[in-house]
Amino acid sequence: MFSTKTMFLQILTPILLLLISSSSGEAVKSSENVGVCVSKVGRSHHQPYELEGKLPESADLEFKDLNLCNVFHDKTCCSASLMLSASLALQDLATHGEASKDCLLWFELLECSICHPDVGVQSVPLRICASFCDSVFEACSDAYFSSNTQVIVPCGAGTNCEKASELESNGTAFCEAVGFSVQTADDSVEEPCYGSKRDLVSAVESFEKAVRLQDLKNKRMILNLQICRSVLVFVLAIFVYMWVRQQDMKRDARRLTRNRIRRRF
Ligand SMILES: *[C@@H]1O[C@H](CO)[C@@H](O)[C@H](O)[C@H]1NC(C)=O
């Protein structure tokens, strides 16, 4: 099934990634050691940053090879070793979890939250916006997860799995079960959270604007092309007409000369 909504999401998600990478967490500033990586606690399988106490860096080759959290590779506190389990989890989600493309993208965004440059340097614990969790849950509700451990993880080989929608009833519960803290209050309050609704709404608006602009541009281009073609056809027609006229006139002139010569003799 390839619905318009799926297509829309597929186009939209990279834009969301960019927007999230540039705007969420902007309200967060640690008072001391501004700008250095501060390890995040709260998720059972999170290790400390290798760059703890240092400035965020661009991803090294090893991290780039994971092909994960690519939007944050320019500047991040994450390293390949920290994200290895997330990478394996996403592989499981794709193969054993039967996840849709949307689900994979949203789940990757969730897993990559600690790699966001602003999240990396904030001293407060990482919190995921409830609305963001709802989006992940909606995209992943039909994907399979396993709840054998204290947290739920993407379905692995040979494990008992259930659909996310059978394990949890809403996005907040889902994010918490996966091991994240959720900002349950309305996103508009001061508390910063990852993937706020405001980011998403502005992302959608700018996406729609971009599409409208592109539409308008395309229409203008098609119109210009049509005008161009008409002018070209017109000019060509004149040339052909003039050439034919010229040939006629030459023939007439030759006939006239021949007649004159004949008449003379
Ligand atoms: C989400 O689900 C949990 C567990 O089922 C429930 O306790 C909680 O009230 C729900 N939250 C919302 C916002 O519906």
Torsion angle defined by CA atoms of residues 50, 52, 54 and 58, in that order, rounded to the nearest 10 degrees: 40
What's the number of domains the chain is made of? Answer: 2
Based on the fold, state whether residues 148 and 222 are members of the same structural domain.
no
Ligand 1 nearest atom to the CA of residue 171, by list position: 1
220: left (phi over 0), alpha (psi -120 to 50) or beta: alpha
- In a mutational test of the pocket of ligand 1, which residue from 131, 170, 184 has the highest number of ligand atoms less than 8 Å from its CB? 170
Among residues 177, 195, 213, which one ends one of the domains? 195
Based on the fold, state whether residues 156 and 257 are members of the same structural domain.
no
Predicted confidence at residue 23, as pLDDT, reads: 45
- Ligand 1, atom 12, lies closest to the CA of 170
Based on the fold, state whether residues 243 and 171 are members of the same structural domain.
no
Based on the fold, state whether residues 159 and 87 are members of the same structural domain.
yes
- Whole-number Å distance, alpha carbon 260 to ligand 1 midpoint, is 108
Predicted confidence band of residue 137 (pLDDT cuts 50, 70, 90): very high
- Whole-number Å distance, alpha carbon 193 to ligand 1 midpoint, is 19
Based on the fold, state whether residues 50 and 122 are members of the same structural domain.
yes
Rounded distance between C-alpha atoms, residue 112 and residue 120, angstroms:
11
Higher-confidence residue: 216 or 122? 122
Based on the fold, state whether residues 101 and 207 are members of the same structural domain.
no
- In a mutational test of the pocket of ligand 1, which residue from 172, 176, 182, 183 has the highest number of ligand atoms less than 8 Å from its CB? 172
Among residues 168, 195, 222, which one ends one of the domains? 195
CA distances from 231 to 224, 226, 228, 234 (A): 11, 9, 5, 5
Mean of pLDDT values over 218-246: 78
Ligand 1 nearest atom to the CA of residue 184, by list position: 13
Rounded distance between C-alpha atoms, residue 154 and residue 147, angstroms:
9
- Whole-number Å distance, alpha carbon 172 to ligand 1 midpoint, is 7
pLDDT in tens, 22-79: 444 443 444 445 789 999 876 766 789 999 999 999 999 999 999 999 999 999 999 9
Rounded distance between C-alpha atoms, residue 155 and residue 143, angstroms:
9
- Whole-number Å distance, alpha carbon 151 to ligand 1 midpoint, is 17
Based on the fold, state whether residues 141 and 64 are members of the same structural domain.
yes
- Whole-number Å distance, alpha carbon 125 to ligand 1 midpoint, is 22
**Is the predicted pLDDT of residue 159 greater than 90, yes or no?**
no
Averaged pLDDT of the chain: 81
Closest among 25, 50, 54 to 122, alpha carbons compared: 25
Closest among 71, 76, 181, 180 to 120, alpha carbons compared: 76
Among 10-14, 42-46, 127-131, 194-198, the range scoring the smallest mean pLDDT is 10-14
Q: What percent of the chain is modeled with pLDDT above 70?
A: 75
Side-chain half-sphere CA neighbours of 75 within 13 A:
13
- pTM comes to 0.67
Total Cβ atoms within 10 A of residue 259: 10
Based on the fold, state whether residues 135 and 184 are members of the same structural domain.
yes
pLDDT in tens, 162-218: 999 999 999 999 999 999 999 886 555 567 889 876 655 555 555 566 666 667 777
Mean pLDDT: which of 22-31, 88-97, 250-259 is highest? 88-97
CA 109 to chain centre: 10
- Provide the residue range defining the domain that includes 120: 4-195
Rounded distance between C-alpha atoms, residue 186 and residue 206, angstroms:
23
Based on the fold, state whether residues 164 and 219 are members of the same structural domain.
no
